[in-house]
Amino acid sequence: MATFLVPAWFQHLAKDVIVHVTPFKHFGSAWGELLDDGLSIQMHATTRGQWNVLITASRKDAFTSCCPQEIECRGMRLVAPRLESPPKGNALQGSEANSPVSAG
């Protein structure tokens, strides 16, 4: 078992975290998970050795929901409609608009 720290900004920008772990030049098995503290990832392995680790997540910051765009699938191509004019004002509302963002 090994525990790795993620950057401080990770818990504020990522949700639905998936940790993919595959062996490198051996046949062991392993898995990983984001711990409840949101600051560390724990990896469990059956074998010592080198591992390829890929961490994926969905974004959860305010900008992912403030300007939704509809995506339409036409055949094998995804098409996003063009905006007639850019949105007016600040995309963030309320207390979020004045809150500083820490880069960690």
The values of phi and psi at residue 53, to 5°, are: -125, 125
20-79 residue pLDDT tens: 999 999 999 999 999 999 899 999 999 999 999 999 999 887 777 666 566 656 666 666
d(CA 15, CA 71): 21
Residue 103 included in any domain? no
In this structure, the number of other CB atoms found within 10 A of the CB of residue 20 comes to: 12
Q: Is residue 68 one of the residues assigned to a domain?
A: no
Residue 97 lies in a domain: no
Number of domains composing the chain: 1
pTM attached to this predicted model: 0.59
For residue 30, the tally of other CB atoms under 10 A from its CB is: 20
34, part of any domain: yes
Give whole-number Cα distances, 33 to 15, 36, 40, 65, in Å: 12, 9, 9, 26
Q: Look up the domain containing 23 and give its range.
A: 2-59
Tokens coding 17: 């975290």
